[in-house]
Amino acid sequence: LNAELANGRLAMMAFWGMFFQDAFTGSAWGDWALYVDSPLRSFAPDPGYNTLPDWVKPKNGFEGLIGDQAPLGLWDPLGFSKDGDIQKFRKRRTVELKHGRVSMLATIGYIVPEYYKFPGYLSPSTDLKFVDVPNGLKALSVMPAAGIAQFFAFIGFIELSYNKELGEPGNYGKGLFGLGSVGLSASVSDPDVRDRKLRAEISNGRLAMVAIIGMFFQDGLTGSAWGDWALY
């Protein structure tokens, strides 16, 4: 009965398709070379080209900036940029860049300890060595509270005091990789090279945001960021 009902639905669609093909082409099999014999054909002369213009997505004023990626261009499925508010757009782009940069560091931070850990003590007062710290989310269970507080204090200092944004989102005047913070000149003068590096940064940051969330979920579900599902 299920097969009969499903086949009937398919046949109804197919039969209507045959009707339309037959009416337009004179053949139910859609030989469009027979279009001139169709009783429903247009009597207007054929211009020799497609008269329907290609659909062009309306622009909202933020296209063409770094962050647009082919084939989607400016991908904004939720319409955050429809209001045309430049300040809101800059804020969201800045947040995206920050999250991307943090995610790239976090992703590397998940991988490196699998192969190398610093020698010596992470916390001499608690007799905690680097090699004793487990990888991934389990590290939070052994880190001293004072160490976690240092993380937040350092992040707060960077966010609220040290970094002062210049004219474009994510630019704090520290040069490539922030090497200006340690006194190294790392500016990129070639505009094409700079554009390429900025586009690579935001693309890699987006990938890293997805990757670190995947690592978090794998780690939380299996106990390993590499997804050992035998441990699930």
Handedness of CA 182, 185, 186, 187 (dihedral sign): positive
Rounded to an integer, what distance in angstroms lies between the CA atom of residue 87 and that of residue 89?
5
Strands 121-123 and 128-129: antiparallel
Mention every residue, 6+ apart, whose C-beta is less than 8 A from residue 201: 97, 100, 101
pLDDT in tens, 50-64: 555 555 566 667 777
At 157 the pLDDT is 93
Q: Which residues on neighbouring strands pair with residue 68, listed in sequence order?
A: 66
Cβ contact 94:159 at 8 Å? no
At 121 the pLDDT is 92
Rounded to an integer, what distance in angstroms lies between the CA atom of residue 46 and that of residue 166?
58
Rounded to an integer, what distance in angstroms lies between the CA atom of residue 151 and that of residue 135?
17
Neighbouring C-alpha atoms within 13 Å toward the C-beta of 66:
24
Best CA proximity match to 226, nearest among 138, 139, 136: 136
At 61 the pLDDT is 73
At 2 the pLDDT is 86
Residue 134's CB is within 10 A of a number of other CB atoms, namely 12
DSSP string, 98-120: HHHHHHHHHHHHHHGGGT---SS
* 69 φ, ψ (degrees, to nearest 5): -135, 135
Model confidence, pTM? 0.67
At 191 the pLDDT is 86
Tens place of pLDDT for every residue, the chain, 232 residues?
Answer: 888 999 999 999 988 888 877 777 666 665 656 555 555 555 555 555 555 555 556 666 777 788 888 777 888 888 888 888 888 888 899 999 999 999 999 999 988 988 899 999 988 988 999 999 988 888 888 988 998 999 999 999 988 888 888 778 888 888 777 777 777 777 777 888 888 888 999 999 999 999 999 988 888 888 777 766 565 5
Cβ contact 131:118 at 8 Å? no
At 129 the pLDDT is 92
At 152 the pLDDT is 93
At 77 the pLDDT is 82
Residue 208's CB is within 10 A of a number of other CB atoms, namely 20
pLDDT in tens, 72-109: 788 888 888 888 888 888 889 999 999 999 999 999 99
Angle at which helices 191-222 and 86-111 cross, to 10°:
60
* 124 φ, ψ (degrees, to nearest 5): -60, -35
At 41 the pLDDT is 54
Best CA proximity match to 93, nearest among 177, 197, 165, 179: 165
CA distances from 42 to 20, 24, 38, 64 (A): 15, 10, 9, 41
